Structure 1
């Protein structure tokens, strides 16, 4: 949990440096490219770190990955220009991918089957909590210059490295083995539809996470620090929403029915954010904070659904595909939406984003889940 939250703070919390970047004269599109660098680095190393965890264990992978991320963030702090900063952030994301590859395996190893659902939900709260750390600290630290915020992230990563080395132990490998399925689950459409629906939920989540602060500051007159604090509260609410979604899915014995309803709610909220941009600062603030809470809630549902529909023999590969597709979309969102906001404005762009989760509603394969569970 500590390792995941730390990694998510520098991989997904960088948008809270946006006002400082904008103050240095960068366009939204240019700043968006920098924001996407850690996610791009994450993409290219997820599979490699997973293979390393399979061979050498989770503790070594977590410790070495966080140590390398600390070095990369040190380079980012000392970067003489934005090109060097982008490269350093890319390398930090590539090293931090170790946490995503190994932490889920730790949960599977240390928790029994009847405990893993909630344990994985707790793990999934790391992203909004990491974003909350960024929201609480980075706007204040990086008021006029970037380096104090980057130094904070470097220190946080160093402390997490020490904690992991001292506290994490690999689970004892038991004899639990399941024979490999002779048939790939990808021969049916179910997993592909879950992947596609999950990807369509990314623009709303990362559109809000990346541009909500700039939207409140530039369009509605908020100061960066209080806007960051408000979004930090929303991020904590997002963490609670993930836990609630996991609990809900356990109660109804379904991952995909809640996923479909949440996707519908996100689509409605993004439309409300678009309309709220015209309705004044109070409505705009309330709608964007609600969207910040709800847009992060379905991640755990989709993650669990992929594993369950893939089966034990294929779960690792299927989750690798899920992470890669989602993060590929997440890497593309900041620069694309930055350019779109520059052309259309915030309100119109948020309204357009609503089309993606509404399309996801139609793709969620609830009927296939019912057939699989013999409802």
Structure 2
């Protein structure tokens, strides 16, 4: 049987859903802080920065996230989810305020790094609240809802941060994620309680799940392979439609926004599917195969100049992001209450590193071999990932 983070479900359904809402808002607010600086680039460039310098500023928050994910996971394992969410959101808001009030680029970079480092707290803790309080037969759906937080946060940042930065400057735009984090902090304080867990002095607490078998390591590897096509589609679909397909930028941007909505709904759908079939990893393998097929069709469309480019971009976006919640839930369930924080931190760190490498490598591939070949190469990654999914080692959901 799969380890559960909560041995008893002693809160009402309304409280569980309220905690899910708080966890989702916490993760969405963190996403506004982490991804919002990317929308400062036009304002920073208009203020005299080169695009390279503005890119360094925008990347500071993401670097902060990668530096602290595992550490926050360790704290979550030791101190609990509520403590980490409250501390992390408060620190994120404080760093955002410091950034808004700071002067000059060096201080802005430092405060954004600190804000990202603090915002990383929500990655493991908010997921563990969901896994800890929801029973297995509802956990996939609940985690699918929680996984919608990233596109929600990116969407909020897209429609607010750039507008405020253009009107009042890059520093003033940081008040947007500050307000989001404060609202999330208040909701977490009002409704979130730590799921019950076994006594930390039990033998179970000392068991390192990574030493038992390769189950968690294989899921990490699968996720690294599957996140690469996701970042490739996110990063190059718009420029492909505009430069190669002749789309107007506004039309292409609208399609990409719609694709993000489809991706969020796709995460919800596969989470529910995993509850229905009683498995996280069988649907994960199905998603990998679907991603391979979709990217192959995208490559064929680019090569033959077919008229279904827009539809395939939406489908590819939806399919390539669908695995995140499944892998996240499977890791938390297997790692158990004393290791899942660190395991989820390792999962997110590996995905961030993979995604960070994809953009420059994808750009080189497009420049040298074109979009069709680049999409075809990306299709090979989920082909490799599918047989690595440890379906046979998955335990019965209980």
Shorter-normalised TM range: 0.7 to 0.9
More divergent stretch after superposition (57-66 vs 321-330): 57-66
Distance 2:385 2:139 in 1: 27
Is this contact kept in 2: 1:8–1:127, CA < 8 A?
Answer: yes
247-256 or 205-214, larger mean C-alpha shift: 205-214
1:120 aligns with 2:122: no
Query: Which stretches in structure 2 are left out of the alignment for 5+ residues?
Result: 1-23
1:222 aligns with 2:244: no
Per-residue CA distance 1:204-230 (angstroms, 9 max, x = gap): 111112222222233233343332222
Q: Distance in 1 between matches of 2:237 and 2:343?
A: 32
Does 2:360 correspond to 1:341?
Answer: no
TM-score, normalization by structure 2: 0.77
Q: Is 1:163 aligned with 2:183?
A: yes
Whether the 8 Å contact between 1:242 and 1:297 is mirrored in structure 2 is: yes
1:47 maps to 70
Question: Quick check: 357-366 or 127-136, which moved more?
Answer: 127-136
User: Cα distance 1:325–1:39, how it changes in 2: closer, same or farther (>3 A)?
Assistant: same
Distance in structure 2 (CA, Å) of the matches to 1:156 and 1:7: 11
Distance in 2 (CA, whole Å) between partners of 1:362 and 1:331 is 25
Q: Aligned to 1:330, which of 355, 360, 366?
A: 355
Shift in Å, 1:49: 2.9
Task: Indicate if the aligned counterparts of 1:21 and 1:146 stay in contact, CA closer than 8 A.
Answer: no
Shift, 1:185, TM fit: 2.7
Q: 1:247 to 1:305 in 2, by over 3 A?
A: same
- Give the number of aligned pairs: 365
Aligned equivalents of 1:19 and 1:348: distance in 2? 31
Residue aligned with 2:339, SS: helix
Note if contact 1:132-1:231 (Cα within 8 Å) is conserved in structure 2: no
RMSD: 3.6
Counting only pairs closer than 5 Å after superposition, residues 131-280 of structure 1 correspond to structure 2 as 131-134=154-157, 141=163, 154-169=174-189, 170-171=192-193, 174=196, 176-177=198-199, 179-181=202-204, 183-187=207-211, 188-280=213-305
Could you list the runs of 5+ residues in structure 1 that have no partner in the other structure? none
Whether the aligned pair in 1 keeps the contact of 2:99 and 2:111 (CA below 8 Å) is: yes
Please name the residue that 2:96 is paired with: 70
- Rate the CA distance shift 1:315–1:175 in 2: closer, same or farther, 3 A: closer
Deviations 1:91-141 (A, max 9, x none): 442232122143224335655665544332211111222333455567x84
Query: What are the residue-to-residue correspondences of 1:30-41 with 2, within 5 Å?
Result: 37-41=60-64
Looking at structure 1, the residues matched to 303 and 38 of structure 2 have their Cα atoms a distance apart, in angstroms, of 24
| TM-aligned CA deviation for residue 18 of structure 1 | 8.1
Displaced runs of 4 or more, over 6 A? 13-27, 29-35, 83-86, 145-149
Report 1:291-306 matches (<5 A): 291-306=316-331
SS at match of 2:322: coil
- After superposing the two structures, state which structure 1 stretch, 299-308 or 184-193, moved more: 184-193
Match of 1:310 among 335, 341, 352: 335
Q: For the residues of structure 2 that align with 1:157 and 1:356, how far apart are their CA atoms?
A: 35
- Against the structure 1 CA distance between its residues 222 and 10, is the aligned structure 2 distance closer, same or farther, given a 3 Å change threshold? farther
Distance, in Å, in 2 between the alignment partners of 1:152 and 1:221 is 36
**CA distance 1:40–1:343, change in 2 (3 Å):** farther
Q: Say if 2:26 and 2:89, in contact at 8 Å, map to a contact too.
A: no
CA gap 1:148/1:336 in 2 versus in 1, 3 angstroms: farther
User: Is residue 120 of structure 2 the alignment partner of residue 97 of structure 1?
Assistant: yes
Contact 1:65 1:98 in 2 (8 A): no
Distance 1:44 1:111, change over 3 A: same
Residue 130 of structure 1 is matched in structure 2 by 153
Q: Is residue 2:87 matched to residue 1:61?
A: yes
What is the rounded CA distance, in whole Å, between the counterparts of 2:156 and 2:217 in structure 1?
A: 34
